[in-house]
Structures are given as structure tokens and as C-alpha cells.
Structure 1
């Protein structure tokens, strides 16, 4: 996450037939700092775990990587406590309440989502959740996250909430100096053939799980890359990676017996009840899928088999029937994220099942306008981002990260207007997903939750309990201009 605050336009776009599996309008939250922990969001818990705080996050224990490197013998237990072990409820030693207090995402949160009318979650994930992809000689991350993901997805599914699997932290690191990548470093290595391949193997594993494992039954979309470097000159091969990401998703689905209408491919006649055996036919994929796609899927097969054994669900991979479902939505940053990358989305039109997301820029990185209430609302109420993106084939579009930060001291009255103005704008498109569902409330965290936590925003009356409603539907009336301005 490094996000926020662009506005949208004042006209809607047609979404029919594009988002099967998604709600008619997305109202959601990110599960940030659950399976990719960002210490700024829970500083006291991080210190209690054994982490550190520093101005430059690359110089201390301020990421999952450096934590695992510093505490190799205890990192898995520490993070399992943060994630919430499914066995915690049955701890015979009476320590359940201590464990529960420090867990980040649990059933109480799911119940709160239902109470607040939320229908979608975006789940940031690191590549290391597929543990076989980690080079343990040079890379250091906690283990056990996949079991927690399965637990959380089942809880969300029972509540009727759909999920987006967001590849938030990529192998090799996709952006320098960011906690959300899992490692704060200036040594960015994602944009290399080796790490593109690892990311495609991750995609194949997650796509297969989304179709085979009943625990993933509410997964409707996979996001390719969260917030790559915005200058395409620094990301060689990234456009080809995006196309290959789509091809891997569709190839896995084809091998599992789903048709690919956009490629005029009927369901694979060799698909059978043995999922991993079906995937092994990747070597015989049609020519539309290049060798790199076949290689990534074949590398994913033994990983899936080991995952099945480790989690005790091997029968669903080797013997059980497939869980039939619609093809996944392939999800990308919007076409303007990389201002000089012509390969981003128009080249993916052949897929016919993609959706785009905007992660907008955090206020502390420059803000949206001059630091005043009038400037913020005038800017936001007069943006035409939806129309401009749609004209470039970049639709449907949802806003995947937004919150209420400002570059000036914000009154409660303004934050109510700021929330309304953003919800009004973002709801003109496919919908919105707030960053974040919660922020730690502690002396060390200060008042961060006031502008970054959805739960706290509702508690303080900035956000309505019904996400489809505004406190003031006319919030933008005093700020509208005759002409609109682009983001």
C-alpha cells in the first residue's frame, strides 16, 4: 500500500457481463497487514513481536524479511500468533485471550463486515505464501500463511463476501524502500526473467487453488502486481509479463476443463478428476500459449502436490472432483499507472475478462491538490478519471486503495465531506475498496486510525454504516465546475 486519493467522473459505465462473481457494486476493504505485514499500521504490536522502528525502513527490523532474518527460530510462531491460529480457540493452557487480542484478522472482523454491508475484500499477499518459491539461502519470510488464507477465505465465504487475491509483494521486490513489498531495499530485482517466472508460477498455483480447493470458492479475481515502478523505463519486460499473467490464468483454467471463449478454445477434453494430472498436460497446450506458460504451469504441479500433503487436503488435488466456477477476473493497475508503458491494458483486450484497479497516491507523497479543504473538494468533485480511462479501453475500473488522509489538519466536519466526496466519485465506476479495514489503536500509533481505518471512520461518523449511502448527497454541489479536469 502506498495509496490514495484520485477522484472519478460523474457518469457511469456499463459493466454487464464483465464481472461475473463480483457484486453489482463493489463496497469493500483491504485486509492490509494481515498476510503482508506493514509495521506502520500496527507499531505497538510490531515492537512487542520484536520488530523495530526507524526513519529508513531498510536500516532496521522493519519488514517481514528482516524480522525472519533476525529471528529464524521463532518467526513462524510469532507470525502465526499475528495471523490467528485456527487452534487458538482450543488452547488448553488458558492463553487464548492473550493470543486473540494480538491477532489481526478474525471472525469478529468478518461479522463487522457483514454488519457494515461490505461485500468484497482485497487480500494483499506475498509471493512467499507459496513457500516453495522462496530461496531460503537468501530470502527470509515466515511460513504458514497459506493455512491462514484458507481459514480466512472460508470465514468470508460463509459470510457471503467475495475476495480478490492481490499479489502485493513480488519475488525480487517490485518497488524500492516500501514495507508493502515485504522487504525494504533499494535492490529491486522483480523485473528479471527469473522473478517474472516465479511470479507466473505463483499465479498458476493461486489459479489452480481458486478452482480446485473449496476453501477458495469465493475468490473471484487475482491481481497481477500491486504498484509496480511507475516509470516503464525501469521495468523491462513488464508489459510481456502482464500478458503472460493472463495466459497462465487462462491456460490453467483450460487444463482444468473450463473453456476460453476469447481464444475460441472449448473445454479441454483431456481434463479429468485428477487436477494435477490435468495440469501436467501443459506440455501439450495449444500454440497460443508460449513455452514460458507451459513451463510455469509444469513447475506449479509439484508445488501443488506438496501443498496438498502439508495442509492435509491432498485428495482435492489428486482424486477429488474439481470445484466448478466461472473463469477468474484478471486484475491490473490502471492504464495510466505507468505513464510511458503502451503495453499495459489495450494489449490484453483479447481476454475479455479483466478489471482494473487504481491504487491512488498517499497524501504524504504529494497530495491531490493545494493543502486546503476547498482545493481538495474542488479537485475531487471535478475529476473525469472514469471517462478518460474508459476511452482508452481501461474499464471496468474500481478504486482499490483510498482513505481519508490530508496534508493539513483535518476537522471532523471536513473528514465527513471528504469521505462523502470520495465515495460519490468512486461509486460512479465499479466501486471501491478502502485502505484499510483497521489500524492499530495505541499510544505508539497515535491517531493514525482516524484517517486510515474503515472501522474507526464508521465509529467516528465519517463513513456511513450503509456503504451505498452518503451523509450528504449534495456534498459536491458547491464545488462543481462547468468543465472537468483530469487526474
Structure 2
């Protein structure tokens, strides 16, 4: 059976793969946070209704997907299926289209590739891949491109954070075992992005969301960055997708050629970690293909079109300190960089309107990154949140000023597209929800426009 399934890959490679979108000339985006990686602070009432809990220390109660799946092993899949269906669906896509969004960043956990989960010690819901496929199809049909963001890494990449899927101080991502699992995940998601037509709006894969900032605590991360890019390009070469790093195209006439290309990937890379990741990814990809009913895909293609290579993406070099590795050293093919900026967590500017505006209007992150080869730069997370009670008038200026600063780079992706609207969530959406921000008039309905193009004139130093 597997040989026949491998052979069907060759049929796909010799036929059309739906036209792939590219990185927009300017990114105007939102994150689809709390969809496939749930952060319970963003839907407090919904989380309690699901059976979760709230606590000050998220490691001490049922506040994350890991804790929930461990507490409710018999019902977790059904409960999360309802969440995935309701939190992001066609109605939300329609709302994004209405406000001109052209890009989404989709936070994903490693557990969406279910074979990577050690079910004896790791606990997560199953079935998310089907909702990812459904959501990508809806976004593709709407003309919105997608970035697959590896948001929650195997072993946990940052302590005490809901966004890792498990609140814990036991950070184990920066080990050979978990680097390998992340590379296998990368190989699978790269192949899916090129083979499944519902994934054809995927333009990029981001390697790691928000690693620990202190680079002395992330041993091996620089080497992982290089391996990540090599895995993406090796998969693309195997699929006949080429760039200046490639060699002559496979004829695609014999299934054994494809299998041999994967199993003996030394023809592309002599790196044993890359070879091992590709070999371990292949049976997982076969299983996912069967689950997603790829046997019917060949009927969807009609004409020959060349796919473009995906962008690889990393948090920029200035995300870390203490002599971090430069992700530009890993680049082979199209690549962009990600920076996150939240003023509400402190350490950026004094907590008043004047200091905030002076800071954002004189921001030099695009220039600082470019000087180190980290360009183009997308601001992949930001919000309207502040450390002080902000007036509506200020939030209009605050939105304009941030957009003005971030579009000096390749664009921006707001966190988040929405949050829960409930009595328990209070006014959470006022500064965390892009759609609510548009409704309130903080954001111009056209994301490329500002209310006041001179918003920074009085603050530039």
C-alpha cells in the first residue's frame, strides 16, 4: 500500500499543483492566536466552559492544552474539535476580508503532527490537522496568504508561557532529541504546503516562536537554524521545486526515484541531521496523506504550474542577547525575519503617552536588523496594549504610529484577530482584538491607510 501511495506522489509531481501565492509587497496581517494553540487568557469564559481553570501561576492548574488533555483524556479530542470549529471559521475569514487583511500568521504546536507526540509523557488533543486544512482552504479561497508559525515546540522553548502549550519551568527544546522532532515537523509541514492544494496559500514556515532571549540558555539553536533551512530546501528539491541552491530536476517517471531521493538525501545534503529528519518524516507524511484522503488529489489538477520555494522565517537576531547566532547565516533561498514588540510588558518606554509616542516614532529596529542582514523584517506580533489607561483618542494615534513604524519594514501582523467578548473577559478586546479595533475606529478600515499620516511629526528626534 505504501509503495502505491509513494507512486501517487509522482503523479502529483507530474501534474499541476495549484498556483502558489507569494509574500505580499507589504504585509497587513493578523495572528490566528488561540485557535490551534489555545491560550486560555484570550477566552476566559470559554475555557471555563470547556472544563479548564484559571490561576495566577499557569503551571498550577488546568490552564493549558497539556494540562487539559492530561485531565480529560477521554473527552479532550471532542471538546477541542468544537473549539477549533467555532474559534476560527468562514465567518471570521469574511470579517478579515472586509477589513483588507492580506496575511495571517497561524500559531501551531508540534502536536499537530500527532506522530511526534510521546503519548506516555505528553498530552495534547488530536485532530487539529483537519481544521488547519479546512481553515487554509477558506483563507486561500479568500485570497489571504498564510504563515505557518511553529509556536509551541517539542520540549517547550520558553518557561512559564501558555503559548508553548504547557506552562512549565522545565525547558527541554534545546536538546538533540527535540531539535530532531522540530526538524521532522518542518519536513512534514513543508511537504504538506506543496502537495496539498488546500495548503497552497502557505508562503512561509517560521522555525521557532519566541525562543529564550538569553542566547546562553539556547545551546545549539544556531545550528538548528541552519538545519531548519536545509530541511525545507531538501524537501522542496525532492518535490521538484528549485532555486539557485538546486540541481537538475527529477524526471518524476518512476516512484522508486522519488523514494530513493528521500531515503538517500545525501544528493542534496551531507548533513546527517537533515537526512535523518527527512527519513523520519516520510512515513508520517504517508499516514497524514492517507488521513487527509490524498488519493483523490490527482483529479484536482489540470495544468502544469511551477511552485515557488517557501520563505523560511526566524525571530530576528536582536530578539536575543549574549552573542546570539545570526539567522541570516542560515539563509538559502527566500527568507524574512520576525520581531515582536509589546509596550505593555515594560522595558520599552516609560508608562505615559509622550514616552510611548517618542519611542515608537523613533524606532530603529528595521534599520538595526538590516545592518546585520536581517531584512526584510515583519513585525509578527504587536498590540494596542499599554501600561496605563489609554483614551480612545490616544489609541487612534497609537495605532497609526505603530503602523507607520512597522511599515518601514515589510509590514505587520497584529496580535490577535479577535479575543473573547464576555462579561469575564471585560474590555480585553479593546486593545487585543484587531477586528474590534476597526469597529471602534482605532484602525482605518483599509489597513494600508492611517488616520493621520503626520502622527509622528511632533515626536521625531
TM-score normalized with structure 1 length? 0.87
Aligned mates of 1:57, 1:341 — CA distance in 2? 31
Cα separation, 1, equivalents of 2:339 and 2:314: 8
1:445 Cα deviation (Å)?
0.7
Identify the residue that residue 441 of structure 1 maps to in structure 2.
421
1:329 to 311, 318, 328: 311
**Equivalent residue of 1:220, what SS?**
strand
Is the Cα–Cα contact under 8 Å of residues 21 and 201 in structure 2 kept in the other structure? Answer: no
C-alpha separation in 2, matches of 1:273 and 1:203: 26
Partner Cα distance (1:236, 1:293) in 2? 18
Change (3 A) 1:81 1:443: same
Partner residue, 1:461: 441
Secondary structure at the counterpart of residue 360 of structure 2: helix
SS of structure 1 residue aligned to 2:284:
helix
**Equivalent position of 2:33 in the other structure:** 32
Structure 2 residue 48 is matched with structure 1 residue 52: no
Preserved CA contact (<8 Å) 1:417 1:475: yes
1:276 & 1:218 partners in 2: Cα distance?
A: 28
1: CA distance, partners of 2:415 / 2:407: 16
Where does structure 1 lack aligned partners over 5 or more consecutive residues?
Answer: 1-18, 85-102, 482-487
1:242 is aligned, of 225, 230, 247, to 225
> 2:10 corresponds to which residue?
none
Q: Give CA-to-partner distance per residue, 1:376-400, whole Å, 9 cap, x none.
A: 0011101121111111111000100
Checking the alignment, whether the CA contact within 8 Å between 1:256 and 1:271 is kept in structure 2 is no
Partner secondary structure for residue 245 of structure 1: helix
Aligned length: 441
The one of 363, 368, 377 equivalent to 1:397 is 377
**Deviation of residue 254 (structure 1)?**
0.7
Match of 1:406? 386
Alignment of 1:37-186 (within 5 A): 37-84=38-85, 103-186=86-169
2:192 to 186, 209, 212: 209
Say which SS state the counterpart of residue 166 (structure 1) adopts. strand
Structure 1 residues 74, 20: closer, same or farther in 2, change over 3 A? Answer: closer
Deviations 1:121-165 (A, max 9, x none): 000000000000000000000000000000000000000000000
- Note if contact 1:280-1:301 (Cα within 8 Å) is conserved in structure 2: no
- TM-superposed CA distance for 1:271, in Å, is 4.3
1:384 and 1:406 map into 2 onto residues whose CA distance is 20
Q: Secondary structure at the match of 2:104?
A: strand
Is this contact kept in 2: 1:169–1:180, CA < 8 A?
yes
- How far apart are the structure 2 equivalents of 1:137 and 1:250? 33
Aligned to 2:358: 378
Cα separation, 1, equivalents of 2:353 and 2:426: 23
Answer yes or no: is the 8 Å Cα contact 1:23–1:119 preserved in 2: yes
Query: How far apart are the structure 2 equivalents of 1:305 and 1:413?
Result: 54
TM-score using structure 2 length: 0.92
- What RMSD over aligned residues (CA atoms) do the two structures have, in Å? 2.1
Q: Does the CA-based 8 Å contact 1:256-1:275 persist in structure 2? A: no
Please name the residue that 2:276 is paired with: 295
Instruction: Report if the CA contact (8 A) 1:201-1:296 is conserved.
Output: yes
SS in 2 for 1:306: helix
Please state whether the residue corresponding to 1:477 is helix, strand or coil.
coil
- C-alpha distance after superposition, 1:399-429 (max 9, x if no partner): 0001100001100010001000000111111
Counterpart of 2:401 (choices 410, 421, 424) is 421
Which position in structure 2 is the counterpart of 1:15? none
Structure 2 vs 1, CA of residues 245 and 410 (structure 1 numbering), >3 Å: closer, same or farther? same
In structure 2, what is the equivalent of residue 484 of structure 1?
A: none
Assess, with a 3 A threshold, how the Cα gap between structure 1 residues 74 and 370 changes in structure 2: closer, same or farther: same
Deviation at 1:309, TM superposition (A): 1.6
